[in-house]
Structure 1
């Protein structure tokens, strides 16, 4: 049972809006676009591993939590790509979508990639990350008085990541090896949680502890293209509001979802609070009266009257 499904991150959504609204001539446009590309590649790799679980014959009961995030007692963040929980063990997976020749120096905790063009890149050590997650999970399991082995592994989501001899003895394998690893682990570990309700209780405890951690990013609000934009035209073509419809003067698109979509852009880039003034600025509307009428069409909570009126975007 999937208790926590994987979702597109807020950071990816923010970057998508920034890239869509930034002029391509903006000096940081490439950096934002590259950041977005890397996040999308990583997300695609995670989805590739998620799909593999559907092919496996898993013990019952079992629970899966994807992209589990929690803040520990010291205020630090733990982000675990996948947690698999069954009566035999708890498994934490770190998913990497890395291409190239990979090597590892355990003495220096150094994870290295050599790309096709010979570029050598140092990367964060995923085994150190996993050991940190395992230590946190052990304390929680002991606190809940459960007896459950904790396993961990790095999964490569692409076959184009080539592992060298350095990784012998390390918990790392390609996604196609998940089936055989699971079979070995299930054979090695007999069920240690006898009561199904105990496992369910612990899985739900994890679910209640899950907290989406906001990733800070510099949003170039002054430089983004304002207005309600056409989804067909790629260079920030604004729509016109005419006879209660949003129309594109260039391609003729009639967009019935334009207002809601732009409100989501506002939420991602600015926040959940609006005023008539901030609405006019972001939506590029000249008439305060028209802005007031449009605001009434949106799922907002309103407080105050006249020029002191404020709005909040509903969840």
Structure 2
């Protein structure tokens, strides 16, 4: 990354940016456990993916002057599913009103996921109504991604029993819901709804540039050889190769993508990655991004990748 047009204060601006980026990365690390759980669920979500289904991870929808965020939103012709993802270990004592976590004999109350997902569902229902969609069923689920977590239900818990599911059981739960619910939307309606949701997605505002009085034009994002500093590297046979000194590196793209996402704060598409790295293969680009554990919003051509930060 090179800052242009700022030669007199290049060193000071560069150090300020580094301090800002370090603060952002430190913040991301503090929620690493929760992000791991959400990334774990994405594997199971891919098991149900098909041409008739639209899956949105970490979608943040603007609505009446604020925005509500959903861990995972799944649209099908039959229904929508809103999923609250939890990566909690230990014994989970669950009722309709509360969730108690017991780890090594120590109990603590956790904010009620049922209340959280119901609030998201209420806002999404109102959002749908404002966009002319009514009588579209919304199913609320709480998915546990910790493989060793144990559910213990206490009364009243009828609603909780229907909503809680372990991540590895989710594909079966989904198929059962499909069988139980008739189709409500045509594929054309579903496609249009998906486009509207993506248009309403509003990532949290990133004020990094404003903070330092910079604009996007002040940056050139280029992959630089760490050995000789040359700005031309080619990806082949699973590694980056410097065209000047022959140095190889498997992950030197990672820092560039993180800088890009942290500074611009808008996510990155496969098309933008192709322009950034000169790689034409969508499969190679998807693989590079997937290994970074980025958050995926949208799917197929509309997909954008964001840092794992809420």
Please give the range of the TM-score, normalised by the shorter of the 2 chains: 0.5 to 0.7
The answer for the alignment partner of 2:150 in structure 1 is 162
Per-residue deviation, residues 270-312 of structure 1 (Å, max 9, x unmatched): 99xxxxxxxxxxxxxxxxxxxxxxxxxxxxxxxxxxxxxxxxx
1:150 aligns with 2:141: no
- Counting only pairs closer than 5 Å after superposition, residues 181-260 of structure 1 correspond to structure 2 as 181-193=173-185, 195-214=186-205
For residue 159 of structure 2, give the secondary structure of its aligned residue in structure 1: coil
1:73 aligns with 2:61: no
1:134 aligns with 2:126: no
Alpha-carbon distance, 1:264 to partner: 6.6
Work out the CA distance in 1 between the residues paired with 2:19 and 2:101: 29
Calculate the TM-score normalised by the size of structure 1: 0.56
Tell me, yes or no, if the aligned pair for 2:24 and 2:262 is still in contact at 8 Å.
no
1:93 aligns with 2:83: yes
For residue 169 of structure 1, give the secondary structure of its aligned residue in structure 2: helix
Task: Provide closer, same or farther for how the CA distance between residues 15 and 98 of structure 1 changes in structure 2, counting only shifts above 3 A.
Answer: farther
CA-based RMSD of the aligned residues comes to 3.9
Aligned residue among 47, 54, 63 for 2:39: 47
Tell me, yes or no, if the aligned pair for 1:98 and 1:160 is still in contact at 8 Å.
no
Alpha-carbon distance, 1:215 to partner: 8.1
Work out the CA distance in 2 between the residues paired with 1:89 and 1:266: 36
Largest Rg, 1 or 2? 1
Task: Provide closer, same or farther for how the CA distance between residues 36 and 198 of structure 1 changes in structure 2, counting only shifts above 3 A.
Answer: closer
Tell me, yes or no, if the aligned pair for 2:206 and 2:263 is still in contact at 8 Å.
no
- Counting only pairs closer than 5 Å after superposition, residues 12-23 of structure 1 correspond to structure 2 as 17-18=22-23
For residue 155 of structure 1, give the secondary structure of its aligned residue in structure 2: strand
The answer for the alignment partner of 1:84 in structure 2 is 74
Tell me, yes or no, if the aligned pair for 1:15 and 1:36 is still in contact at 8 Å.
no
Q: How many residues align?
A: 210
Per-residue deviation, residues 157-181 of structure 1 (Å, max 9, x unmatched): 1122211123553101100111221
Task: Provide closer, same or farther for how the CA distance between residues 91 and 242 of structure 1 changes in structure 2, counting only shifts above 3 A.
Answer: closer
Alpha-carbon distance, 1:142 to partner: 2.2
Alpha-carbon distance, 1:105 to partner: 4.6
1:125 aligns with 2:112: yes
1:178 aligns with 2:170: yes
Alpha-carbon distance, 1:40 to partner: 1.8
Work out the CA distance in 2 between the residues paired with 1:183 and 1:270: 39
Task: Provide closer, same or farther for how the CA distance between residues 16 and 128 of structure 1 changes in structure 2, counting only shifts above 3 A.
Answer: farther
Work out the CA distance in 2 between the residues paired with 1:101 and 1:66: 27
Tell me, yes or no, if the aligned pair for 2:70 and 2:120 is still in contact at 8 Å.
yes
Work out the CA distance in 2 between the residues paired with 1:242 and 1:196: 52
Per-residue deviation, residues 11-61 of structure 1 (Å, max 9, x unmatched): xx99983498xxxxxxxxxxx5xx6555222222112111112323x5642
The answer for the alignment partner of 1:62 in structure 2 is 53
Work out the CA distance in 1 between the residues paired with 2:257 and 2:190: 41
